[in-house]
Amino acid sequence: MNGTPRQKLLWLILITVIVAIPFVTGSYVVGVMCFVAIFGGLALGMGLLLEQAGMFSLAHPTWFGLGGYVSGILAVRGIAPPWLGSIFGAVFVGLISYIIGAPLLRLKGYYLACATFGLLLIVEVALGQLGPLTGGNEGLMGIPPLSFGTFALETDVHYYYLSWVLCLGCLRFLYNLMDSRMGRAIKSFNDSEVAARSMGINVPRYKLKVFILTAVMASMIGSVYTFYLRFMQPSIFGFPLLVELVTMIIIGGGKTLYGPLLGAFVVMWLREAIHLTLGGLLPRMSAQVDALFFGIIIIVILIFMPGGLSGWIDGFLYFGRKVFGRTDG
C-alpha cells in the first residue's frame, strides 16, 4: 500500500501543499493549520487505538497534557531546556502508560472506556490541585519557547512547520506500522483474539505496546503545543478536548489511518466558521459551546454516515473502480 505510485504522488502533493501554505496565505490560516497538525496528530493516534486496535481508551488527552506539563514545568524551572524536557515528558508518559496500561488493558470495551475516562478526570483534577508545582487551575505560565541551541522558535510559522513535520512523521510511521507484521498482528487481534493468540501473538503485550506508542506520540505533540502557547492549563486537556478528538475521528472516519487527520481539518475550520458566523449571536463562545456543536455533529454522523468522510471517500473510490471495471466482481 505504501509503495504504489499513486500513494507516493498523494504524499508528494500533500507535502507540497503543506510547505506552500505559509507563502500563499496569511498568519490566520497558518495558525489554524498549525492546530490542525497538532490536534490531527493526536486524533491519528487515538483513531488507531480505537478503530484499528479496538481499544477504547479515552485517556489520550491525558498523555497530551502530561507531556506538555512535564516539559513545561522543567522548562519554567530552568531544569531542562524545552527540547530535552519534551524527551523527559515522553519518557515519563511512556512509563506511566506502561504501569497503568498493563492492568487496565485487560478490561473489555466500555469498562476500559469508563476507567480511562476516570483517569482523564483524575489527572485533570489532580493537576489543578497541585498548585505549587503546576500553577494550579490558573495554569502554568511563563513557559519559554522551544529552542535548539541558539535558534528559538518564536513565530507561528516556525511552529507550523514543526507541528506538520511531527504530524506527518507520525502518520508515516503509523502507515509503515500497519502495513507490516505488527499491523497485521493488531488487525488480527481486533478481529479474533483467540485466533491471534493461537498464531503466536502475545495479545496483551501487543496491546500494551500500541497503547504506549500512541501515548508517547501524544506526549510529544503535547510538548510542542505547550511551547507554542507558552501556557498550560488543566482544562485544556479535559472533557472538551476528548469530545473534539472523538468528533475528528468520527467525522473523518476511523477505518482508514488518514481519516482522523481529515476530520481534524474539517473540525478546525468548522469551528472557525461557527465562531465567525454565530459568534456575534451567541453570548459566549468557549470550548464548552464548541462541544455543543461537535456533539450534534457526532450524533448526526454516527446515525447517517457511520464510516465518516474517509469511509465515504473509500466507498466512492471502490464504487468508481467497480464501475470502470478495475476490480473483480
Partner 1 sequence: MDDILLHVRGLSKHFGGIKAVDEVTCAIKNRSIISMIGPNGAGKSTFINVVSGIYSPDVGRVYFQGEEITGVRAHEIAAKGIGRTFQLEELFGSLSVLENVMVGCHTRSRSDVLACGFSLPSARSEERRVRDEAMECLKEVGLEQRAHDSISRLPLGERKLVGVARALGMKPRLLMLDEPAGGRAAHEVERLVRLIYTLRDRGITLFIVEHNMPFVMSLSERVIVLDEGRKIAEGTPDEVRASEEVIKAYLGEEV
Partner 2 sequence: MTLLSQIIQYAISGITSGSIYAVIGICWSLVYLITKVLNFTTGEFVMLGGMLTWGFRGAGFGLIPSVLFAISITILISMILERIAIRPVRFPSEMTYMMITIAAASVIKGVVLLGWGSETRTIPAFFGTEVIHLFGATMTSQILCVLGLLVIVTLGLSLFLNRTLFGKALRASAINVTGASLVGIDISRFRFFCFGLAGGLGAITGIVITPITFTGYEVGMLTGLKGLVAAIVGGWTMTGTMVAALMLGLLEGFGAGFISAGLKDVFSLLVMILFLIVRTMDFALWRGSVMR
Q: Smallest Cα–Cα separation from 60: which of 32, 91, 101?
A: 101
Separation between Cα atoms, residue 233 and residue 137, nearest integer Å: 6
Q: Which residues pair with 147 in a beta bridge?
A: 152
Q: Which is nearer to partner 2, 138 or 154 (CB)?
A: 138
Residue 84 binds which entry of partner 2, partner 1, none, with Cβ cut-offs from 5 to 8 Å by kind?
none
Q: Which is nearer to partner 1, 28 or 173 (CB)?
A: 173
Residue 110 binds which entry of partner 1, partner 2, none, with Cβ cut-offs from 5 to 8 Å by kind?
partner 2
Q: Determine, following the binding rule CB under 8 A, whether residue 201 of this chain makes contact with partner 1.
A: yes
Which one of the spans 30-38, 102-110, 120-128, 200-208 is the region binding partner 1 (CB under 8 A)? Answer: 200-208
One of 147, 190, 305, 314 touching partner 1 (CB under 8 A): 190
Residue 298 binds which entry of partner 1, partner 2, none, with Cβ cut-offs from 5 to 8 Å by kind?
partner 2
Enumerate residues 277-296 that contact partner 1 by CB under 8 A. Answer: none
Q: Determine, following the binding rule CB under 8 A, whether residue 195 of this chain makes contact with partner 1.
A: yes
DSSP state, residue 138 = G
| Residue matched to cell numbers 482544562 | 235
What does R_g of the chain's alpha carbons equal in angstroms?
20
Residue 173 binds which entry of partner 2, partner 1, none, with Cβ cut-offs from 5 to 8 Å by kind?
partner 1
One of 91, 136, 145, 209 touching partner 1 (CB under 8 A): 209
Separation between Cα atoms, residue 61 and residue 46, nearest integer Å: 9
SS3 148: strand
Residue 115 binds which entry of partner 2, partner 1, none, with Cβ cut-offs from 5 to 8 Å by kind?
partner 2
One of 16, 155, 176, 286 touching partner 1 (CB under 8 A): 176
Give least dist CB 7 to partner 1, A: 13
Q: What is the largest CA-CA distance in the chain?
A: 66
Q: Does residue 160 contact residue 152 with C-beta atoms inside 8 Å?
A: no
> What is the sign, positive or negative, of the torsion defined by CA atoms of 268, 272, 273, 279?
positive
Phi-psi region of 73 (alpha: psi -120 to 50; beta: other; left: phi over 0): alpha
Q: Determine, following the binding rule CB under 8 A, whether residue 200 of this chain makes contact with partner 1.
A: yes
Residue 303 binds which entry of partner 1, partner 2, none, with Cβ cut-offs from 5 to 8 Å by kind?
partner 2
Q: Which is nearer to partner 1, 187 or 230 (CB)?
A: 187
One of 181, 280, 284, 326 touching partner 1 (CB under 8 A): 181
Grid cell in block for residue 166: 511531527
Q: Which is nearer to partner 1, 77 or 172 (CB)?
A: 172
Q: What are the percentages of helix, strand and coil residues in the chain, rounded to 5?
A: 75, 0, 20
Give phi and psi for 148, each to the nearest 5.
-120, 105
Q: Determine, following the binding rule CB under 8 A, whether residue 165 of this chain makes contact with partner 1.
A: no
Residue 83 binds which entry of partner 1, partner 2, none, with Cβ cut-offs from 5 to 8 Å by kind?
none
Q: Does residue 83 contact residue 140 with C-beta atoms inside 8 Å?
A: no
One of 43, 59, 93, 196 touching partner 1 (CB under 8 A): 196
Give least dist CB 94 to partner 2, A: 20
Give least dist CB 328 to partner 2, A: 26
Q: How many helical (H) and strand (E) elements, i.e. helices and strands, does the chain have?
A: 14, 2
SS3 68: helix
